[in-house]
Amino acid sequence: MAAGRPALDRGSMMPFDPQLQTWLVLLGAGLSLVLAVVVVVLAVQVRALRRDQRRAFDVGSGEDVVSALGRVDAEVAGLRRDLTTVHANTEHLRELVRGTVSRVGVLRYDAFDDMGGALSFSTALLDERGCGVVVTAINGRSEARCYAKPVVDGESEHHLSSEEEAAIAAAIEGRGPALVAPVRARRRRRVS
């Protein structure tokens, strides 16, 4: 015996009860069975997870998930750059559109009592700030006259007729390009 160690007395060990030993073996077998089921369930879940990862990241042959994530991250960065470019282009186009005709108001009317068909009209062609031109055409039996007056912020430095003011208001309020004013009362012709 080694110096300093007490000798083990094998006879002083408590013997296992055979019934206790049977229960311990059954308990160990049951735990082993539960652990085997858990291992199988986890293996199925890992397999499903890998399949989903291959689908989600379009992992090709031999490519691992980390490489796929790096590739997807690079693609997202490229999309962000593209989105920034699209945003800048949109702002540029927005600036260009601000100066184009985007609001139109048309008012058709009978300028003279003896004329029908609402052949006269006033048309306001404005941008989104209310700047542009109002064009008026007055049609009579023997002549037609056309006037164009500049409009700034919905107003003109020139005298505006009520029809021109109505066309400008229709354009600014967005009531559409085909506003037709009520036809003035006309004299009825006698049918002989």
33-52 per-position pLDDT tens digit: 999 999 999 999 999 988 88
Sign of CA dihedral 187, 140, 180, 174: negative
- Size of the chain, expressed as the number of residues it contains: 192
Distance of CA 72 to the CA centre of its chain: 22
Sign of CA dihedral 51, 57, 58, 63: negative
Residue-wise pLDDT for 56-81, tens only, equals: 766 666 677 778 788 889 999 999 99
Q: What is the pLDDT of residue 61?
A: 62
List the end-to-end C-alpha distance of the chain, in Å, as a whole number.
Answer: 151
What contacts 174, CB < 8 A, 6 or more positions away?
A: 103
Confidence of residue 7 (pLDDT cuts 50, 70, 90): low
pTM exceeds 0.85, yes or no? no
Q: Using an 8 Å Cβ cutoff, are 121 and 137 in contact?
A: yes
**What are the tokens at 86?**
């699209």
Confidence of residue 86 (pLDDT cuts 50, 70, 90): very high
**pLDDT at 178 > cutoff 50:** no
